[in-house]
Amino acid sequence: MKIRSAPFVLLCLLLCSCQSAYYGALEKFGVHKRDILVDRVEDAREAQEEAKEQFESAFEEFLAVSEVDVGELKSTYDRLQSAFDSSEAKAKAVRARVEAIEDVASALFKEWSGELEQYSSQDLRAASEEQLEQTRELSENLVRAMNEAAAKMDPVLDAFRDQVLFLKHNLNAQAIAALNKTSLALREEVELLIEQMEASIDEANAFVSQMRS
């Protein structure tokens, strides 16, 4: 191992140790990884719902620029900057929630797989193993849907950022016309984003329902 890679390896080991200790401590209070996974999926679903509403609201703000008087461009810029900042923050929150799901899912399935060896009944072991695979598939489908929705946020955020920067550098009537054109062209991407996020939210609902049944 290269010396310079040692700190990274040690950091990974420390993080893994901390995560194991965290989950272990919660289990002592009767909170198991399965429960944590469901809670984190619900948190991610809520984050996606908030992001969806924020992106819809921000898009309306950008569309409204066409009706703004030139004298109000400075306050309009401030409003659009705020809308972009909020959208970016919501997008980051969604990604963080998805990462949290992946983390606990990995720990759960590793533990579950290892505990299969403890069964003395082959029938019960087979049933548990089948349930493990079904749950793993549900989890992978959910994470895939959430990541696909998150990826759709990037081009919309890029467009929002471009418009904010353009308005910042061109506080004039020509800027209004240019932003109106690009905002209208963005409509399809925003609609696709909302559609993808709604599909991901449906996946989360199905996952929670399945896990609680």
What's the pLDDT score for residue 17?
54
What's the pLDDT score for residue 177?
78
What's the pLDDT score for residue 6?
41
The pair of three-digit structure tokens given for residue 151, joined into one six-digit string: 């990826």
Among the listed residues 52, 139, 140, 37, the one whose alpha carbon sits nearest the alpha carbon of residue 94: 52
Same-domain check for residues 5 and 84: no
Same-domain check for residues 140 and 49: yes
Same-domain check for residues 50 and 66: yes
The pair of three-digit structure tokens given for residue 160, joined into one six-digit string: 């929002």
What average pLDDT values come out for the chain (213 residues) when binned by 10 residues?
41 53 74 91 96 95 79 85 96 96 95 95 96 95 95 94 88 77 87 94 94 84
Same-domain check for residues 5 and 70: no
Q: What are the tens digits of pLDDT across the range 21-39?
A: 777 777 777 778 899 999 9
What's the pLDDT score for residue 62?
86
What's the pLDDT score for residue 16?
52
Specify the number of domains making up the chain: 2
Same-domain check for residues 40 and 26: no
Same-domain check for residues 11 and 103: no
- Which amino acid appears at position 92 of this protein? K
Same-domain check for residues 93 and 162: yes
Same-domain check for residues 13 and 87: no
Same-domain check for residues 8 and 57: no
Same-domain check for residues 83 and 98: yes
Same-domain check for residues 55 and 130: yes
Same-domain check for residues 200 and 97: yes
What's the pLDDT score for residue 4?
42
Q: What are the tens digits of pLDDT across the range 76-113?
A: 889 999 999 999 999 999 999 999 999 999 999 999 99
Q: Supply the Cα-derived Rg of the chain in whole angstroms.
A: 23
Tally of CB atoms within 10 A around 29: 7
- What is the DSSP secondary structure assignment for residue 7, as one 8-state letter? H
Tally of CB atoms within 10 A around 107: 18
CATH number at residue 155: 1.20.120
What's the pLDDT score for residue 18?
65
Domain of 6, in residue numbers: 1-31
